[in-house]
Amino acid sequence: MAIKTFKITGDKELIRKLKLIEKRNPLVIA
């Protein structure tokens, strides 16, 4: 259960960071 919760919150943080990086450099995720 703890792992699932961590994964969900971790994914949200990861997506948030990826969006910030994408704004700075659109080629990062390309």
pLDDT along the chain (30 residues), means of 10: 67 85 70
Give the pLDDT score at 25.
73
* Chain position carrying tokens 């995720």: 29
Instruction: Please tell me the total count of domains within the chain.
Output: 1
Give the pLDDT score at 1.
52
Q: Does this model's pTM top 0.85?
A: no
For residue 29, what are the domain limits? 1-30
Chain center to CA of 18: 5
